Homo-oligomer: A and B are copies of this chain.
Amino acid sequence: MTERRERVVVVGAGLAGSLAALHLARRGYEVDVHERRPDPRSALTSPGGRSINLGLSARGMRALEGVGLLTDVLKRSVPMRGRVVHSPDGAVRFQPYGVREHEILHSVLREELISLVVDAAEAEPGVRFHFGSRLVHLDRETATVRVEPTGGGDPTTVTADLVVGADGVFSTVRQQMQHGLRADYAQEFLPWGYKELTIPVGADGRPRVRLEALHVWPGHEALMVAHPNRDGSLTCSLFMAHEGPVSFTALDTPTAVSEFFHRHFPDAVGLMPDLVRELADHPVGHLVTVRTAPWRYADRVVLIGDAAHAVYPFYGQGMNSAFEDCLVLDGCLADHPDRATALAAYETARKPHTDVLADLSTANFEDLRDRVHRFGYTAAAAADRLLARLLPGRWVPLYAMVSHTTTPYADALARADRQDRILRAAGAGLVMAAGLAATATLRAGRRRSTRR
């Protein structure tokens, strides 16, 4: 058999693009991956590179397990067994992530994770990664791309059978694929941005805070989240408004930074010796939600990951859902020999769930900002966890379904809504029972006083 192998161009070698390349190679395609940035493996060894950690949860783990990489990845990650919630009054509360042993997350460095996937993909025959290679143009009618070296040089034209757009939230593939079509597109920026800061390992070589957890400093005007690293340090993301009285713009002097941190995150100040310098030096990141359709064009172009659906990071599902895209796409390609049908099936199977994830991620921001400290919220969360313990497998809190299962997002939300209605009805029942009891007591009292 000397059948010509079909050819795929993957644009973008981030999390989604590199995993898709691996899947496609194993499915028999010849794969060229073009990535604008330099090889992440060289960035790993270069000092001063920004370290971004991600929380790997069930969906991501399933995808990595499917390609045989989970063990390697877990070796390089730090388990997060729960959340440590820091209050402005200095109080610290540990909330386990789940009710069972395996219900934990894993903190992993983005570049390290990508490097493992790229290594595995490159080990497949017919896979070539081209770093520093930028997409200039896509012709969706012929699946032809023009790419050029970012360092200068002549562009090259490559015609493929399929182009995979894994080029992130401001995807060029998406833009050129949808050009002139009746495409729906919505981008929404959060008025808040983020900066990355460091909680370095202590002078004694030990972590300054409990390591195996995600640390959260909720807050109405600013909030922080910190992921652990293997060296005992933590990488912290500070979220707050871009502009306004309490904002990144307002933190323009060391005094302003110090006052701000002492007011909002008093117990964090001592953990972050480089705070002032890091705040001055690090860029502010933007947070954006993108929803769009279509995700595909005929049998020739398809979008995955942030290019198809970007979400705010507050549910920690960006990477996990990107990996899940790859899994679903691979399954659709396996199920449907006709590729146009496969791509359509992928979009149909996937989009309703990533739309729900966008809503959940926005809601989680609002929870972290406004509700985590409120009694109603913590009481409901406690009831949820109690029921999960009493009814194992039959009562699953939403967070657990999203993070510790692979139940599709929309199905998870629907089930959580049903559980919520039961809780509310139970609450109403309780109130009524209490009312009846009170009335009965009152009547009994009246009868007694009548008798007297």
- Does A286 have its Cβ within 8 Å of any Cβ on chain B? yes
- Distance A187 CA – B182 CA, assembled complex (angstroms): 9
Contact at B185–A186, with CB atoms within 8 Å?
Answer: yes
Are B184 and A187 in touch, CB under 8 angstroms? yes
Across-interface contacts of A184 in B (CB, < 8 A): 187-189
Please indicate the chain B residues that have their CB under 8 angstroms from the CB of A286 in the complex. 182
Q: Does A426 contact B (CB under 8 A)?
A: no
Compute how far the CA of A189 lies from the CA of B184 in the bound complex, rounded to whole angstroms.
6
In the complex, whether A430 has a CB less than 8 A from a CB of chain B is no
- Interchain CA distance A185-B170 in the complex, whole Å: 13
Within the complex, the shortest CB–CB distance from A386 to chain B, in Å, comes to 39
Residue from the list B183, B185, B191, B242 in contact with A185, Cβ < 8 A = B185
Q: Which residue of B lies closest to A191 (CB)?
A: B182
**A183 to chain B: which residues have CB within 8 Å?**
187, 189
User: What is the interface size of chain A, counting residues whose CB is below 8 A from a CB of the partner?
Assistant: 12
Q: What's the Cα separation between A184 and B186 when bound, in Å?
A: 8
Q: Are A182 and B189 in contact (CB under 8 A)?
A: yes
Q: Let me know if B187 and A185 touch, CB within 8 A.
A: yes
What's the Cα separation between A186 and B290 when bound, in Å? Answer: 9
Residue of B nearest to A189 (CB): B182
Is chain A's binding surface mostly helix, strand, loop or mixed?
strand
Q: Which residues of B contact A242 (CB under 8 A)?
A: 182
A residues 166-197 in Cβ contact with B at 8 Å: 182-189, 191
**Distance (whole angstroms) from the CB of A112 to the closest CB of chain B:** 30
Query: Could you tell me the distance between the alpha carbons of A191 and B191 in the complex, rounded to whole angstroms?
Result: 32
Would you give the shortest CB distance from A373 to chain B, in whole angstroms?
28
Quick one: CB contact mask for A213-248 with B, threshold 8 Å, 1 for yes? 000000000000000000000000000001000000
The proximity string for A residues 88-129 relative to B, scoring 1 for CB distances below 8 Å and 0 otherwise, is 000000000000000000000000000000000000000000
With a 10 A CB-CB cut-off, give which of A182, A186, A189, A288 has the most chain B CB atoms.
Answer: A182
Q: How far is the CA of A55 from the CA of B265 in the complex (A)?
A: 58
Q: How far is the CA of A286 from the CA of B186 in the complex (A)?
A: 18
Mask, A271-312, CB within 8 Å of B = 1, is 000000000000000101000000000000000000000000
Contacts of A288 in B (CB 8 A): 182
Of the candidates B186, B188, B189, B191, which one forms a contact with A187 in the assembled complex, judged by CB atoms under 8 Å apart? B186
Give A118 Cβ to nearest chain B Cβ, in Å. Answer: 30
Q: Which of A359-381 contact B (CB under 8 A)?
A: none
Tell me how far the C-beta of A176 lies from the nearest C-beta in chain B, rounded to whole angstroms.
Answer: 15
CA distance A49 to B420 in the complex (A): 59
Name the B residues within 8 Å of A185 (CB-CB): 185-187
Q: How far is the CA of A189 from the CA of B183 in the complex (A)?
A: 7
- Closest B residue to A193 by beta carbon equals B182
What's the nearest-Cβ distance from chain B to residue A316, in Å? 22
Distance between A358 CB and nearest chain B CB, rounded to angstroms:
13
> For residue A184, which residue of chain B has the nearest CB?
B188
Residues of B within 8 A of A182 (CB): 189, 191, 242, 286, 288
CA distance in complex: A286, B184 (Å): 12
CA distance in complex: A191, B187 (Å): 20
In the complex, which residue of chain B has the Cβ closest to the Cβ of A183? B189
CA distance A20 to B185 in the complex (A): 29
Q: List 16 A-B contacts (CB under 8 A).
A: A182-B189, A182-B191, A182-B242, A182-B286, A182-B288, A183-B187, A183-B189, A184-B187, A184-B188, A184-B189, A185-B185, A185-B186, A185-B187, A186-B186, A186-B187, A186-B188
A-B contacts besides A183-B189, A184-B187, A185-B185, 13 pairs, CB < 8 Å: A182-B189, A182-B191, A182-B242, A182-B286, A182-B288, A183-B187, A184-B188, A184-B189, A185-B186, A185-B187, A186-B186, A186-B187, A186-B188
**Chain A interface residues toward B at CB < 8 A:** 182-189, 191, 242, 286, 288
